[in-house]
């Protein structure tokens, strides 16, 4: 800017040296720093490619591990329990369970139920005010009349009863139900209206004989809360069901449970009781052979995609990470995956590597599926194949654990690509600072040269003025009279 203004001034006055100082200064500055600028630009481009490469690889490996974990935890690769009568018992596998060879029988004579009650005296509407006061909710065990409509005895459980305060502005059945529900005591209240709009309070407890309850108006100035009482001798309510345990026999052993969802009777299996029957229900298992075959193929396809991305980054000629030790280590680790034992403490002759179940390595490092070996492994060792694809939060066995370990090592900021990324980012910051320094030095040199040329032009202009004066004098002297 300064150089251009000076040059324009000198040109308009037809003074100075006549040299284009702006162009000259720009050329001199560019020549001074061109080599350093080009070198820094090339280095910045290379580092950007390295940063991008490490990010791509870490993301690719992380997504590979996450996808396999999702597949393993989805349940489709796990041997599933099969019930011979879903109208009595349904069964599902617990995560990480080994259910091959499952054989069990279950008989259900009684389902678990929760105590339910309803008021028998209708309230005009659900918003009709009853009165302020206090209701006391007590949990425990109870016995009931033969028809199940009345409580004949009650024993409170350990622990303090629950106090439900009914305050002004919330004394309707809707307000009372809301106050009971706010206690989260295991008893749920709701309001039911009939065709005439009359309202009734319905109470339901959790399943199990230990979840019986009473409701008592312990402070009732208006005398209207007592009609909600539930318990021995209560006249304003009727029971629609009592609290009782589920009764069942598992492999000849009679047991009771407080819920119809049971996970502690058959190892690795969650039972859901849906009905009763005098006939035992058989529990067996089935191996997801087709799903495991498909997963082997999907694993190979995904592995090959990851390998392609990695080899592109490590290409000896064009790969931005061709000299990166962490990327090279990742490649070696992936290539060793087919021969690394991923199952331990198994019987002799059991496959322990993915190579032994039909995943083979080609000459170029990619993987392929040997269908005959896969079929043989699924026939002879289905448990081992399933275990290789199983997920566990505690075990180091299986492909999921192996890939998770690889992913963690890859992203490590101490020795993995995470450390490489940090190093490249530090280098990028250093290059950016060097480029800023060159820009500052260039501006300083440009300013200095502009000032020097401006001074030179001023001196040349003075010399030209003196020259012109002397020439005029000489011409005057030589002019004939």
Looking at residue 17, what is its pLDDT?
A: 57
Measured CA to CA, the distance from residue 390 to residue 321 in angstroms comes to: 34
Look at the chain and count its residues.
Answer: 481
Looking at residue 450, what is its pLDDT?
A: 76
Distances (CA, A) of 297 to 29, 169, 251, 304, 338: 62, 66, 40, 11, 14
Looking at residue 19, what is its pLDDT?
A: 64
Looking at residue 77, what is its pLDDT?
A: 87
Looking at residue 187, what is its pLDDT?
A: 97
User: What are the residues whose beta carbons fall under 8 Å from the beta carbon of 48, sequence distance 6 or more?
Assistant: 428
Looking at residue 14, what is its pLDDT?
A: 39
Looking at residue 224, what is its pLDDT?
A: 95
* Segment 337-384, tens digit of pLDDT: 989 999 988 888 899 999 999 999 999 999 999 999 999 999 999 989
User: What are the residues whose beta carbons fall under 8 Å from the beta carbon of 433, sequence distance 6 or more?
Assistant: none
Locate tokens 């193929």: which residue? Answer: 297
Which residue positions in the chain have pLDDT lower than 70?
Answer: 1-21, 29, 481
Terminal alpha carbon distance of the chain: 53
């Amino acid at each position: 800017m300064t150089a251009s203004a000076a040059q324009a001034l000198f040109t308009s006055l037809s003074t100075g040296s006549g040299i284009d100082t702006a162009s000259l200064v720009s050329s001199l500055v560019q020549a001074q720093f061109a080599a350093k600028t080009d070198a820094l630009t090339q280095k910045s481009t290379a580092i950007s490619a390295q940063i991008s490469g490490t990010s791509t690889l870490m993301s690719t490996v992380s997504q590979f591990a996450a996808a396999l974990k999702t597949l393993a935890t989805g349940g489709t690769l796990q041997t599933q329990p099969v019930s011979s009568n879903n109208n009595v018992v349904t069964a599902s596998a617990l995560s990480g369970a080994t259910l091959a060879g499952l054989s069990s029988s279950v008989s259900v004579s009684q389902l678990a139920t929760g105590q339910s009650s309803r008021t028998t005296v209708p309230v005009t509407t659900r918003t009709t005010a009853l009165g302020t006061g206090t209701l006391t909710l007590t949990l425990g065990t109870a016995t009931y009349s033969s028809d199940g409509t009345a409580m004949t005895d009650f024993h409170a459980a350990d622990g303090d009863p629950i106090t439900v305060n009914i305050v002004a502005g919330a004394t309707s059945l809707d307000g009372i139900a809301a106050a009971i529900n706010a206690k989260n005591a295991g008893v749920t209240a709701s309001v039911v209206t009939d065709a005439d709009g009359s309202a009734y309070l319905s109470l339901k407890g959790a399943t199990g004989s230990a979840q019986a309850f009473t409701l008592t108006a312990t402070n009732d100035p208006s005398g209207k809360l007592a009609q909600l009482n539930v318990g021995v001798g209560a006249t304003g309510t009727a029971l629609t069901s009592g609290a009782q345990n589920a009764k069942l026999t598992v492999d000849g052993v009679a047991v009771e449970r407080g819920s119809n969802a049971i996970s502690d009777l058959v190892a690795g299996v969650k039972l859901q009781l849906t009905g009763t029957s005098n006939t035992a229900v058989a529990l067996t298992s089935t191996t997801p052979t087709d799903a495991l075959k498909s997963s082997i193929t999907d694993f190979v396809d995904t592995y090959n995609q990851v390998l392609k991305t990695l080899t592109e980054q490590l290409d000896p000629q064009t790969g931005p990470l061709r000299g990166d030790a962490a990327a090279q280590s990742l490649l070696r680790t992936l290539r060793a995956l087919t021969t690394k034992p991923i199952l331990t403490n198994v019987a002799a002759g059991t496959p322990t590597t993915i190579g032994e179940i039909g995943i083979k390595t080609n000459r170029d490092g990619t993987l392929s599926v040997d269908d005959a070996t896969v079929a043989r492994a699924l026939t002879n060792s289905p448990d081992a194949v399933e275990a290789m694809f199983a997920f566990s939060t505690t075990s180091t066995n299986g492909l999921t654990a192996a890939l998770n370990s690889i992913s963690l090592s890859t992203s490590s900021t101490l020795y993995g690509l995470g450390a490489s990324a940090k190093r490249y980012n530090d280098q990028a910051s250093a290059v950016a600072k060097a480029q800023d320094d060159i820009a500052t030095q260039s501006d300083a040199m440009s300013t200095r040269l502009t000032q020097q040329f401006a001074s030179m032009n001023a001196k040349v202009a003075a010399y030209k003025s003196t020259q012109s004066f002397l020439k005029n004098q000489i011409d005057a002297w030589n002019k004939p009279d």
